[in-house]
Amino acid sequence: MAETINRYGGDAEVLHLPDIGVYGNTHFLFEDKNNEEIADIIDRWIVKKGLGG
């Protein structure tokens, strides 16, 4: 899906959490026990994209 989004001018990335050492998450990332870790990852991505800070 990210490939298609990017093909049409979007800026999508796929991040497989276990690849960066984050385990045990469900589809409800902000309800999981490590929700602050997930928020930090998303915040860093937002800053990297120049969308906030």
pLDDT of 3 over the 90 cut:
yes
Q: What percent of the chain has pLDDT over 70?
A: 98
Q: What is the pLDDT of residue 52?
A: 79
| Average pLDDT of the chain, as a whole number | 91
Phi-psi region of 49 (alpha: psi -120 to 50; beta: other; left: phi over 0): alpha
Cα separation, 30 vs 28, in Å, equals 6
Cα separation, 13 vs 11, in Å, equals 7
The amino acid sitting at 33 is K
Where does 1-53 have alpha helices with state H?
A: 2-7, 35-48
Read off the tokens for 19: 């690849």
6-32: pLDDT as tens digits: 999 999 999 999 999 999 888 887 889
Q: What is the pLDDT of residue 53?
A: 60
C-alpha radius of gyration, the chain, whole number: 13
